[in-house]
Structure 1
Amino acid sequence: MKIINRSVWKDTYDTLHHLAQMMGKVKLAATPVQPEWANVPLEVYPSGFRTGLLYKNGINFEILLDFYKSEVSIFDNRGNSKFFVLKDRTSVSGIYGEFLELLNFLGLDITINTIPQEMNMKTRFEDNINEIIYDHESAKNAFEMILYAYHELNIFISPFRSKKVMPRFYWGTFDLGTTIFSGIPAPYDSSDIIARIGFDEQMIEFGYAFDDTIDGFPYLYILIYPVKTSEYENAKPEGSGYFSKEKSEFFLPLKPVFEMGNPSEEIQKFLESSFRIICHNEKWPNLDWHTKEIK
């Protein structure tokens, strides 16, 4: 596993982001809506991402992306299965065509919005014919970073007694996140349905991302909702993490962390100390109960 700049594997990243969106949009269409879009994220399993159990047209099915085999597959409860292999020198439209074949194979009549969400790219899947590079080793390395981050976030979040969403992969922003809630309503006044459903209660999201915010390298982030940025201008978590006034989030760049002797210890210090700072500033109720030791 290597910490590499996203620019080195940008085409592969874009390929995977589009594919994750296809899987996620099917999951969105085949599950009842839950608060904070808890029904939508993809699940992480040892070889990749999975939608989890879906149901449509009387069919129970699941879609999987295997990073090690470079395969996308679909299964149903009748014993039917089909897959295709991700190849180099392909296109988003080509992948989408093969993805539709999987759905059609099971007789699934599912309509999705083919415009990418939460991406700078707005070309519909079927119209994006530009040739892209898919590098198997880069994809595998990226997934191993996701696995590492998953376990660190899982270690941190598991003991909390409050309502929470365990680590899941958010296909819109292509990041891994886990969220805890204080129980205090905080409706988001917006006509944007994504934001309105996603933000309706006081919460803290802890996550891992690949984007270009920190010199193009992966990082951990902590998002606070609602947040009063001015109260965090002098906030300093333990270790090498920091609060960004520009982004209104806490960040921990992972490249320097992995050059230290014990990256896990540094990550847990960042998560725990930032959580304490946030709870103090946001006046979370019943903090002792949220963090009461499990016995």
Structure 2
Amino acid sequence: MSRPWPDIPYEPWAETCAALHLMSQVVGKVRIAHTPWVNHSWHATLYVTPRGLTTGPIHHENGCLTLSFDLQDHLLVCENASGWRASTELGPTSISDFTAGVGRLVEGAGAVFDIHGAPNEIPDPVPFAEDHVQRPYDADAVERFHDALLQIDRVFSRFSTAFLGKTSPVHLFWGSFDLAVTRFSGQPAPEHPGGVPYLPDAVTREAYSHEVSSAGFWPGNGGAGEAMFYSYAYPVPEGFSAQTVEPDSARWDSELGEFVLPYEAVRTSEDPEATLLAFLQSTYTAASRCADWDAALNTSLQKPGIPRTV
């Protein structure tokens, strides 16, 4: 029997979510400080693991390390290639203290801790070292959030198998704190106008250098107010907003310029995986049809252990 999708109402853990968001930025910036640029900022992201989130291997001048959020035992774990391992507890703290703790772990692993010291994509950002406000940490809510990420990662990964073109990994962007997966038509896109708050325009323009159909999940941050799935296209093709998508609880959000679907509508449906796949597939189909993508890029959902027929 598959595990039930957890209830993750945003408001009760909003402050914890905000703290975890900032913590993920500190950790993500360690990766970006040591990793050569990969297209669309894929070198900066975090990945879902059975226990939480990880940077994956970070290669640096003196070796290799990994930083991982263990959201079951509530630790930030640092490991290096020499077998050294250390951790710091996740709990109520200030972002300044958390940042100092990350610095000690990174330096203990043999790397230089020198990151861009302020948040991105957050209104009125306070430099990490100057953010002394004590933040709460609701461990139960964090565990349920991780359980949701595991379910969503599984469905997003399965959805990825039905496309033959360039596809991103399923990864968490710590700037906006969303789990996302993106498909590319292969065609260049018009230059993005930029203007994302506290994000260099050069980063945004490189991210949207080519046509995309992108889907993702927010836990409720960024003004959403509730856990939400989204799907958008860049550039927005003519007629996209008028397309009919599934399920019935999905809608076009004119302010965001994308389709949205409440997480709760997925969680409480008879078949959450099928409901989410219907949203992902129908919004992608709408985007690719309106933008006249090559239909040869599409294939069926694949199964474990069976090679795709060429």
Provide, for residues 156-184 of structure 1, a one-character-per-residue CA deviation record: whole Å limited to 9, x for no partner: 11231101112111111111001111100
Q: Which residue in 2 is equivalent to 1:257?
A: 266
Shift of 1:256: 2.4
Is the contact made by 1:187 and 1:196 (CA closer than 8 Å) also made in structure 2? no
Q: Which residue in 1 is equivalent to 2:120?
A: 117
Q: Percent identity?
A: 24
Q: Secondary structure at the match of 1:280?
A: helix
Shift of 1:190: 4.8
Q: Secondary structure at the match of 2:215?
A: strand
Shift of 1:73: 1.2
1:243 maps to 2:243: no
Q: Secondary structure at the match of 2:20?
A: helix
CA distance in 1, matches of 2:178, 2:137: 19
Is the contact made by 2:212 and 2:235 (CA closer than 8 Å) also made in structure 1? yes
Q: What is the aligned counterpart of 1:288 among 289, 296, 299?
A: 296
CA distance in 2, matches of 1:249, 1:202: 15
Q: What is the aligned counterpart of 2:30 among 26, 29, 34?
A: 26
CA distance in 2, matches of 1:154, 1:261: 21
Is the contact made by 2:67 and 2:76 (CA closer than 8 Å) also made in structure 1? yes
Q: What is the aligned counterpart of 2:203 among 171, 183, 194?
A: 194
Q: What is the aligned counterpart of 1:175 among 168, 175, 178?
A: 178
1:47 maps to 2:51: yes
Q: Structure 1 46/147 Cα, relative in aligned 2: closer, same or farther at 3 Å? A: same
Shift of 1:292: 6.2
Q: Secondary structure at the match of 2:141?
A: helix
Counterparts of residues 198-213 of structure 1 (less than 5 Å)? 198-212=207-221
One-letter code aligned to 2:110: G
1:185 maps to 2:194: no
Counterparts of residues 134-149 of structure 1 (less than 5 Å)? 134-149=137-152
Q: What is the aligned counterpart of 2:160 among 133, 157, 165?
A: 157
Q: Which residue in 2 is equivalent to 1:271?
A: 280
1:224 maps to 2:228: no
One-letter code aligned to 1:112: I
Is the contact made by 1:188 and 1:195 (CA closer than 8 Å) also made in structure 2? no
Provide, for residues 238-276 of structure 1, a one-character-per-residue CA deviation record: whole Å limited to 9, x for no partner: 212122222111111121232221122111111111111
Is the contact made by 2:62 and 2:110 (CA closer than 8 Å) also made in structure 1? no
Q: How many residue pairs get matched?
A: 292
Provide, for residues 197-240 of structure 1, a one-character-per-residue CA deviation record: whole Å limited to 9, x for no partner: 11100111111111257862211111211114x62342220212
Q: Structure 1 291/214 Cα, relative in aligned 2: closer, same or farther at 3 Å? A: farther
Q: Structure 1 20/214 Cα, relative in aligned 2: closer, same or farther at 3 Å? A: closer
CA distance in 1, matches of 2:70, 2:21: 14
Moved more, 151-160 or 188-197: 188-197
Q: Which residue in 1 is equivalent to 2:108?
A: 105
Shift of 1:74: 0.9
Shift of 1:4: 2.8
Structure 2 unaligned runs (5+)?
A: 195-200, 302-307
One-letter code aligned to 2:89: V
One-letter code aligned to 1:53: P
Is the contact made by 1:3 and 1:218 (CA closer than 8 Å) also made in structure 2? no
Q: Structure 1 7/82 Cα, relative in aligned 2: closer, same or farther at 3 Å? A: same
Moved more, 65-74 or 154-163: 154-163
Shift of 1:120: 1.8
Q: Secondary structure at the match of 1:166?
A: coil
CA distance in 2, matches of 1:92, 1:262: 39
CA distance in 2, matches of 1:120, 1:85: 27
Q: Structure 1 97/215 Cα, relative in aligned 2: closer, same or farther at 3 Å? A: closer
Moved more, 231-240 or 129-138: 231-240
Is the contact made by 2:245 and 2:283 (CA closer than 8 Å) also made in structure 1? yes
Shift of 1:153: 0.8
Q: Secondary structure at the match of 2:116?
A: coil
> What do you get for the CA RMSD once the two structures are aligned?
1.8
Shift of 1:188: 2.2
CA distance in 2, matches of 1:283, 1:234: 16
